[in-house]
Chains A and B, each alone.
Chain A
């Protein structure tokens, strides 16, 4: 039973109030919660009731632009009662993929998978009230299927209920096509009206909202209202927006059939701004954060359901305000969207870096950021120590001659100094000579300090307690040298000086260099220890020297 509005007067029963031509301000009354299929044919939307009643949707001329695309796109049948569910489900499907990044849909509010879908939702909102159902099947492909039903519906069409609707929807549709945001709230308001009761003839927006709220929202109105509230607030918090958005909205999950489900997506994007919050019960805003947070665990489906409900409630409550602040809310919503988008990008970058870091860290099986960062820090420290040890070992090995023992204490102290003041000390040259005067205890201390990290038996081994007379003298000399060198180095840039002597030393691999050079060599590793920043560079220099 398909009936085309103006052209095909196939149904005789049907007597439109104003039947002729294309421009027909369609006044379709709402049958009582009837399932009506909205079909598009020949550029017009034709409503077809499954109860064999058809209504012409709206003046094709006005609607055609906005309606047709919407109708075409909305190729899914949505019964009035089932409509919300289906739309919600569909929406869920669309949003479900983005469940882990809830902000994603925010950033792409109306340009999601199916842009036409948005239109469809809008259309759904519009037409159900008019047609009691929004069924846009194969618009173009069901030309003459249900003419009879349409015809029957026609007579039932009265201008009573839908008196105000046809003019409004057309306007809304155009607006919808344009902004897709603001007017949608109007739609929702209307829709609420429509859905709430077929017979509602002149429901005030507020009243209808209330009615709809009660009728459609299973949960108490508080949660849905609060949901958007908290959700709007969380939206302001870019960092947790996605999570909270889902969570808070999920609180209103109870409302199974969300009349606003269809428009939830767009609504949500609109409602990203906090402007909608005034409409919601601000009192419950904060507390609602907690339960929503708990509900957040639920997957996107619930979130979307809640979203729809919350948004709907919010829209309804703030509908009037929305109308007044149409432009402002749009700006804010867009600003918030941009903010969310940038925030999301930032978070994506950080997550990517975290994953890369996790791969670098061996045996890192932590899943949360904090523990992974902890492990990264520990691993980094251990790596630095290891590099220092090895570099020192490289430096020490050539010196592991009896004559080199004298330098062990120095190096040991350097190590201890480095370990103790490893972090944040760039030029600990000054304290270094102080340790030189000490005994080998610092070496043991350093070794003990390093114990948990590395096996450092080596540094216990150096026969520190077995100094030769020459060693003692050398030590004194080394002290003096180190003092001088220390002062020199503090004033000099990193280590251009002792790189060369060290390179020479390494190249020869022998203790044939004069003692000053050895002392410098001994000084180098130890000096490099205190400043971790210089360690790698020192090592690199050494390596380059050997190569």
Chain B
């Protein structure tokens, strides 16, 4: 990230606050960290957990997509459900 180096001193302060806020937001989203003491969770930990969480979500999406496609095959292709499933898979 170049913001740290390239920004002015004043700008860097603002950016730091933003970063802190964003990290807190991430903290809220990621379930693992949310249940911990949020005041002591370091930024690196938050980022790490976020990465892990995103990867796990990716895996889930893949699994769900696979399941949905399987389900799609089992039902009538013209049914409403099929369209639902297709929309879900297409995301």
**Interface residue ranges, A against B (CB under 8 Å):** 100, 234, 239-240, 242-244, 247, 289-290, 293-294, 296-297, 346-347, 349-351, 353-354, 356-357, 360-361, 367-370, 372-374, 376-377, 379-381, 383-384, 386-387, 389-391, 393-394, 396-398, 400, 423-424, 454-459, 461-462, 509, 532-533, 536, 539-540, 543, 546
Contacts and interface: CB of A to CB of B under 8 A. Distances in A.
A370 B84 contact: no
A377 B16 contact: no
Contacts, number: 183
B37 interface: no
Interface in B24-62: 25-26, 28-31, 34-35, 42-44, 47-48, 50-51, 53-58, 60-61
Given A293-B10, A539-B60, A397 B68 contact: yes
| Most A-side CB within 10 Å, residue of B6, B18, B87, B88 | B88
A290 B6 CA distance: 13
**6 shortest interchain CB distances as A-B pairs:** A400-B81, A458-B84, A533-B31, A353-B47, A390-B64, A373-B22
6 contacts: A350-B47, A376-B50, A384-B29, A398-B71, A400-B80, A546-B67
Contacts of B54: 357, 360-361, 376, 379-380, 383
Contact of A377 (B22, B48, B74, B91): B22
B61 A368 contact: no
B79 to A, nearest CB: 7
B65 to A, nearest CB: 7
B44 A353 contact: yes
**Interface secondary structure of B, over-half rule:** helix
A458 to B, nearest CB: 3
A256 B68 CA distance: 70
Contact of A532 (B8, B31, B87): B31
Interface residues of B, number: 59
Given A368-B3, A387-B61, A423 B28 contact: yes
Contact of A543 (B51, B63, B91): B63
Nearest to B76: A400
Contacts of B43: 350
Given A380-B54, A390-B65, A397-B75, A458 B3 contact: no
B29 A243 contact: no
Given A289-B9, A387-B61, A396-B84, A380 B26 contact: yes
Contacts of A543: 60, 63-64, 67
Contacts of A367: 1-3
A380 B53 contact: yes
A294 B8 contact: yes
A361 to B, nearest CB: 8
A15 B80 CA distance: 109
Contact of B84 (A346, A351, A356, A393): A393
Nearest to A234: B9
A376 to B, nearest CB: 6
A243 B28 contact: no
Contacts of B44: 346, 349-350, 353
A506 to B, nearest CB: 9
Nearest to A463: B80
Given A243-B4, A458-B88, A543-B63, A377 B25 contact: yes
B77 interface: no
A390 B3 contact: no
Residues of A contacting B: mostly: helix
B48 to A, nearest CB: 6
Given A384-B29, A457-B83, A393 B51 contact: no
Contacts of B90: 455
Nearest to B6: A297
**Max chain B Cβ within 10 angstroms of own Cβ: one of A353, A424, A454:** A353
B9 A244 contact: yes
Contacts of A377: 22, 25-26, 29
Given A290-B9, A373-B19, A393 B88 contact: yes
A394 B68 contact: yes
A461 B83 contact: yes
B2 to A, nearest CB: 6
Nearest to B71: A397
Given A377-B22, A379-B54, A351 B1 contact: yes
Contacts of A532: 29, 31
A346 B4 CA distance: 14
B47 A354 contact: yes
A354 B1 contact: yes
B1 A390 contact: no
B81 A397 contact: yes
A397 B10 CA distance: 55
Given A354-B47, A373-B22, 20 more contacts: A234-B9, A239-B16, A350-B47, A357-B47, A360-B51, A360-B58, A368-B3, A369-B1, A373-B26, A379-B54, A380-B26, A380-B54, A386-B91, A387-B57, A390-B89, A396-B81, A458-B81, A458-B84, A458-B88, A532-B31
A349 B64 CA distance: 33
Nearest to B79: A400
B23 A383 contact: no
A324 B51 CA distance: 52
A456 B56 CA distance: 23
